[in-house]
Structure 1
Amino acid sequence: MNIASLNERSRIWRLVALHIWHRTLKWMHGGPIFRMQPFSAVPSRLLIAPQDLRTADETNAADIYGGRFLFSGHLVETQGRSPFELDAVHEDWQRELHSFGWLRDLRASDSQIARQNARVLVQDWMKYCGRRHVIGWEAPVVTQRILSWLAHSPFILQDGDHEFYRSFVKSLSRQVRYLRQTINETEDGVVRLRASLAVASACISMAGQGRFARQSIRRLEHELTRQILPDGGHISRNPRALIDILADLLPVRQAFVSQGLEMPPAMLQSVDRMMPLLRFFRHGDGSLAHFNGMGSTPSDLVATILAYDDARGAPPVNAPHSGYQRLGGANSVVLIDTGAVPALGVSGDAHAGCLSFEFSSGTNRIVVNCGVSPKSNPLWRKVSRSTAAHSTATVEDTSSCRFLSERPFGRLLGAPILSGPSSVDVDREDDKAGSRITASHDGYASEFNVIHERDLRLSGDGTVLDGIDTLRAVGPVDAEHHYALRFHLHPGLRTSLLRSGSAVLMVCRSGEAWEFEAPGSELSLEESIYLSDVFGHRKTDQIVVTGSLLEAPSVGWQFRKTATAKLSRRGTTEFDELDELPLEE
């Protein structure tokens, strides 16, 4: 057994020991003992209701009133029963039901019937699940339910009697106490940070919290300081984390202002850091790049969040602590993953996509990563995290990271990254001619004795992206081992091979056209799948350049704009020739 295997095994056993310890503590702090404890410290009233920034859909209100609940792609008709009496339903459906995020849809309808329906459903939850439920008392579910109940409390409580008001506040307080007592045992990363946000939000929204409010603010400061990096990124390296955190942090910040409370320094600093990085990850069409767990972009929520950005300047060009680089030229943007593997405890959603990149021109997405499937399917999750699902190099179709396998501990511990690129060197040059990034990673060094180096240069006018990929040997290389450079293309492109298969033509919906070539290399156009579309999975294409590690360890390639679209006087799209647009073969 080699040293790498021993290190991975030791990490697994540390994870197992930590998991057992946390489960034990959680049972002690939030299990039967917690449920049997008398609870009389009920706040007298709610002082404020933090805003819910997420977008509502009032058309869902009629379905909910009719007993039709469509959550996480699963439709359940209750047939006159309370949805909280149903158990044999998909777990993701139950999580969305118990999170109460759908209260915003009922509130959006702004009707007396919707308000009464909301009160009945809240009463049903308190009756059937208020003390115990396997799904309903998971930490992330409790967190979202607290935030939802607080935000929509004016809507729920209006026209309600005193007894309901008292029961509502008591149940809310019990849930807050549960989070407060079990927060150290919750999953690290966004889950724990959002839990601390929920507790802090509740403590400043309810009367008479005093000591608990001070404790919750200190805890929130601690988590923000620990989890938000100096460049504004999150320790998980997932761009989606910025959206989820800011969507909850901004209303809490506003609640501090409304209550006349002193703003914690960490809260101000975190918002000021995260806002520019959120813009850093955006392409010209407003979508965020698909790195390390980012799926489809909730464009409406991102727009709402960015409306709170006072600076609104140009996005930064690099995020060294988060491990990302950005190249810009005219309307073109290139975003590159140049970071090492996140810490073991927050790598459960991280991808093996080191040195992968995404490329866009204006609102046209050209090169993408496959992204994350909205479907709760272990197979698709495994596919999306593999190196082959990213626009980078693979060796022998293996990933540059090793994930915890499903057996025997995967179901218990998830699938964190056990090993992967640990040394990622990055060099950047910017001049009038354009911007250049040179980076390398050692993710394939231990198994294949090669270092992947990638050199990207975007011209100042954004019309040419040049790349050189090198697989540099650092030991004996097997002659039978092959590499593959993958460039996953956005499904909005029409693609075709040119010049007897030595180049690829890509035509955008706007009429803009790009050409790819890799002189002297074996090139093919193969099927791929785009997982992050808002309408579900979509078939697309990928450009694949293959070769032997010994015969051609260095490959040069280029994306070049050959035509741009403009609007004619008649309102139709015409081609503005940069070069002669090649005919499709």
Structure 2
Amino acid sequence: MSEGAADHAVVRKLALGSPLQRLFGRGRHPLRLLGVPRDHVGGDKARGEALLAGKFIRGSDVIDLEELDFARVGLRGALAEELQSFSWLRDLSAAAARERGARFAEGIAGRWLIAHGTKIDEAWRPDLWGMRVLYWTAYAPYILSSNDSGYRSALLNTLARGARHLDANADKADPGLPRITAWAGLVAAGLLLQGGLARVARGEAGLVRALASAQSEDGGLLSRSPTEQLQLVDRLGLLRAAYFAAKQALPDTLESAAAAALSALHGVIMGDGALSSWQGGNPGKPERISGLIEGCGLRARPLRNAKGWGYQRLSALGTVLVMDAAPPPPPKMARAGSASTLAFELSDGRQRLVINCGGPGDQPTLLAPELVAALRTTAAHSTLTLADSNSTAILPDNSLGKGVEEVPVSRSDDDDCSRIEASHDGYVRGYGLGHARALSLGNDGKELRGLDRLQPKGRKKIKEAVPLAVRFHLAPDVEATPTADGMGAILRSPHAPAWNFRCRGAQLGIEESVMIDGAGQLVGTTQLVIVGETSSLGCEVGWQFRRSS
């Protein structure tokens, strides 16, 4: 049987004596949508074409759709969760016009209804229902084009049951983005589903609470994950479209929260339009990020001095620097927080120069668990490490332990340059030393000066010299050539002039490194490593990046 014929068979099964038909009945007054939101964000055409070819792909995982059984797929991993959420409808729409796409999407939706529509099970998790509402309504032409009244009734009545389920369970979703997603879905259902307006006020109140508990005062998520921040902007953009479809005004509190979220996201985007790599994430795809930002319907300037979000941004004539100037995220808000305090990334135009190693984020990966854990260490970030240890402990269960608690930050901007001075206490408990980093970016964007200091702090006193290393991981297309005196390097790259690096106070080496690219793949690269020692009295290491023209 062909794929199209199989899809039609699923729809026929719904219409002819299926459990769903018996549950909903033919005599019930049919529900209808009051409006169809317009999703202004384009999907991934390649993924959509793979869907049409029967393959659901994300990262290293693949689900064969030919004999898809949602009950068997369950929620085993990120790929299964994405399939259950129906966010793939966006990719399908990028690859297929309505007629062809609807035949495919209705077949998949029919299989979901058979597996999960008649009972409340794991697929009814509140955040998944929130996603389902947002995408089922935005892509109604792809899942509600069928002339089969049994199928249409089953889907719309299940959507209504999902809204009632969210009404009772949205606050049971995990804190952070999952809870925000659940409440956003309830609001969208109230706006768009016949008879749901009574839920809108309750949904808005719940969403405001969820945002207040998950966002810092400047709009960044407490998980401090740029990848999750991108998803937050996307969810709020879809909700905004639901308000417009219902001819309702977005409340000022939600409009402000969405604009702040976008501003925080802009603050961690590098010159190539992709994300800086923090909290186990990677750059992502610039075209997807720009499409999402353009399509969300909001406009905001990059957040530069983000005390709550925790990322400081310096920029001058195309040179961009993003620095982690805060403790790692709270364990309850982060799946995979990293020991990255005081690290930075640097780009010149669209050319990345200094990076962090990054990680797979929420993508399925074939990377060994030991490597994924190593990518979260301090040494995998462009900052100072002491005795090859982490500034915040990473425990065997992958949670974060003791370490950085306080990160005082001062910043100044004048006609000559922008300066950031920050310090952390992550090495005080073990070594009696605090790490302070000062950065200064000239207003012509041509020179970055840095100074790393280890200063005595607390009662602990080390008795012997302890090794230190200041690492600058380089982008894969940056070639580093050492200078004859061993105290510098020339950095050449395809998309920017050469940069000269110099250091003092320790010896410079060039070593191998790795990074995780925007597709979640492991890529080899190099790193500049300043190595030295410190006593209990502390020390300082100065360095400089200067563009040659």
Please classify the TM superposition score into its range, dividing by the shorter chain length: 0.7 to 0.9
**Structure 1 residue 496 and structure 2 residue 481: aligned?**
yes
**Structure 1 residue 117 and structure 2 residue 104: aligned?**
yes
Contact 1:289 1:335 survives alignment (8 Å): yes
Note the residue ranges of structure 1 that are not aligned, 5 or more in a row: 1-37, 407-414, 565-585
Note the residue ranges of structure 2 that are not aligned, 5 or more in a row: 1-22
Contact 1:42 1:170 survives alignment (8 Å): no
Structure 2 CA distance for partners of 1:65 and 1:375, relative to 1, 3 Å:
closer
* Match among 441, 461, 466 for residue 449 of structure 2: 466
Structure 2 CA distance for partners of 1:512 and 1:426, relative to 1, 3 Å:
same
Q: Secondary structure at 1:118's aligned position in 2?
A: helix
Q: CA deviation at 1:309?
A: 8.0
**Structure 1 residue 381 and structure 2 residue 364: aligned?**
no
Q: AA paired with 1:102?
A: W
Distance in 2 (CA, whole Å) between partners of 1:133 and 1:48 is 27
What residue number does 2:86 align with?
100
Q: CA deviation at 1:138?
A: 4.1
Distance in 1 (CA, whole Å) between partners of 2:521 and 2:120 is 31
Distance in 2 (CA, whole Å) between partners of 1:140 and 1:347 is 16
Q: CA deviation at 1:498?
A: 1.6
Q: Secondary structure at 1:401's aligned position in 2?
A: coil
Q: AA paired with 2:284?
A: T
Contact 1:61 1:114 survives alignment (8 Å): no
Q: Secondary structure at 2:185's aligned position in 1?
A: helix
* Match among 392, 412, 417 for residue 429 of structure 1: 412
Distance in 2 (CA, whole Å) between partners of 1:179 and 1:293 is 30
Distance in 1 (CA, whole Å) between partners of 2:48 and 2:335 is 35
Distance in 2 (CA, whole Å) between partners of 1:163 and 1:528 is 58
* Match among 546, 552, 560 for residue 531 of structure 2: 546
Distance in 2 (CA, whole Å) between partners of 1:386 and 1:429 is 30
Structure 2 CA distance for partners of 1:57 and 1:558, relative to 1, 3 Å:
closer
Q: AA paired with 1:452?
A: H
**Structure 1 residue 288 and structure 2 residue 309: aligned?**
no
Contact 1:240 1:293 survives alignment (8 Å): no
Distance in 2 (CA, whole Å) between partners of 1:331 and 1:96 is 36
Contact 1:197 1:249 survives alignment (8 Å): yes
Q: CA deviation at 1:523?
A: 1.3
Deviation track 1:470-511 (CA, whole Å, cap 9, x = no partner) reads: 111223124142211111111121112121432111101035
Q: AA paired with 2:438?
A: D
**Structure 1 residue 82 and structure 2 residue 68: aligned?**
yes
**Structure 1 residue 166 and structure 2 residue 153: aligned?**
yes
**Structure 1 residue 399 and structure 2 residue 399: aligned?**
no
Distance in 2 (CA, whole Å) between partners of 1:449 and 1:247 is 44
Q: Structure 2 matches for 1:234-245, cutoff 5 A? A: 234-245=221-232
Q: AA paired with 1:256?
A: Y
Q: AA paired with 1:382?
A: A
What residue number does 1:339 align with?
326
* Match among 420, 439, 447 for residue 456 of structure 1: 439
Contact 1:346 1:416 survives alignment (8 Å): no
Dislocated runs of 4+, deviation >4 Å: 38-43, 58-63, 85-90, 131-135, 308-314
Structure 2 CA distance for partners of 1:467 and 1:183, relative to 1, 3 Å:
same
Structure 2 CA distance for partners of 1:452 and 1:194, relative to 1, 3 Å:
same
What residue number does 2:521 align with?
536
What residue number does 1:573 align with?
none
Distance in 1 (CA, whole Å) between partners of 2:203 and 2:297 is 27
Q: AA paired with 1:362?
A: G
**Structure 1 residue 525 and structure 2 residue 510: aligned?**
yes
Task: Indicate the larger mover: 257-266 or 351-360.
Answer: 257-266
Distance in 1 (CA, whole Å) between partners of 2:87 and 2:224 is 26
Structure 2 CA distance for partners of 1:43 and 1:428, relative to 1, 3 Å:
farther
Deviation track 1:163-191 (CA, whole Å, cap 9, x = no partner) reads: 21110012222333333333333221111
Contact 1:477 1:549 survives alignment (8 Å): no
Q: CA deviation at 1:248?
A: 1.5
Q: CA deviation at 1:95?
A: 2.1
Distance in 1 (CA, whole Å) between partners of 2:409 and 2:225 is 20
Paired residue total: 517
Distance in 1 (CA, whole Å) between partners of 2:60 and 2:39 is 23
Q: Secondary structure at 1:231's aligned position in 2?
A: coil
Q: CA deviation at 1:129?
A: 2.9
Q: AA paired with 1:463?
A: K
Q: Secondary structure at 1:188's aligned position in 2?
A: coil
Structure 2 CA distance for partners of 1:325 and 1:130, relative to 1, 3 Å:
same
Q: CA deviation at 1:62?
A: 5.2
Q: CA deviation at 1:154?
A: 1.9
Distance in 1 (CA, whole Å) between partners of 2:496 and 2:353 is 13
Distance in 2 (CA, whole Å) between partners of 1:511 and 1:425 is 34
Contact 2:350 2:495 survives alignment (8 Å): no
Q: Normalised by the size of structure 1, how large is the TM-score?
A: 0.82
Distance in 2 (CA, whole Å) between partners of 1:88 and 1:193 is 23
Distance in 2 (CA, whole Å) between partners of 1:89 and 1:269 is 34
What residue number does 1:348 align with?
335
**Structure 1 residue 222 and structure 2 residue 209: aligned?**
yes
* Match among 169, 178, 190 for residue 177 of structure 2: 190
Deviation track 1:220-269 (CA, whole Å, cap 9, x = no partner) reads: 12222333333222222222232111112123123223323343222111
Contact 2:59 2:519 survives alignment (8 Å): no
Deviation track 1:116-148 (CA, whole Å, cap 9, x = no partner) reads: 221121111111233469763444433333322
Distance in 1 (CA, whole Å) between partners of 2:286 and 2:30 is 38
What residue number does 1:484 align with?
469
* Match among 310, 323, 331 for residue 323 of structure 1: 310
Structure 2 CA distance for partners of 1:312 and 1:177, relative to 1, 3 Å:
closer
Q: CA deviation at 1:59?
A: 4.9
Distance in 2 (CA, whole Å) between partners of 1:254 and 1:82 is 31
| Alignment root-mean-square deviation, CA | 2.7
Q: AA paired with 2:410?
A: D
Q: CA deviation at 1:359?
A: 1.0
Distance in 1 (CA, whole Å) between partners of 2:37 and 2:364 is 31
Q: Secondary structure at 1:403's aligned position in 2?
A: coil
Distance in 2 (CA, whole Å) between partners of 1:140 and 1:394 is 38
Q: CA deviation at 1:433?
A: 1.7
Q: AA paired with 1:190?
A: L
Distance in 2 (CA, whole Å) between partners of 1:63 and 1:348 is 29
**Structure 1 residue 444 and structure 2 residue 427: aligned?**
yes
Q: Secondary structure at 1:240's aligned position in 2?
A: helix
Distance in 2 (CA, whole Å) between partners of 1:487 and 1:515 is 13
Q: Secondary structure at 1:482's aligned position in 2?
A: strand
Distance in 2 (CA, whole Å) between partners of 1:302 and 1:222 is 27
Q: Secondary structure at 2:462's aligned position in 1?
A: coil
Q: AA paired with 1:94?
A: A
Task: Indicate the larger mover: 56-65 or 420-429.
Answer: 56-65
**Structure 1 residue 129 and structure 2 residue 116: aligned?**
yes
What residue number does 1:91 align with?
77
Q: AA paired with 1:185?
A: K
% identical aligned pairs: 28
Contact 2:378 2:391 survives alignment (8 Å): yes
Structure 2 CA distance for partners of 1:86 and 1:432, relative to 1, 3 Å:
same
Distance in 2 (CA, whole Å) between partners of 1:215 and 1:196 is 9
Structure 2 CA distance for partners of 1:440 and 1:204, relative to 1, 3 Å:
same
Q: AA paired with 1:470?
A: R
What residue number does 1:513 align with?
498
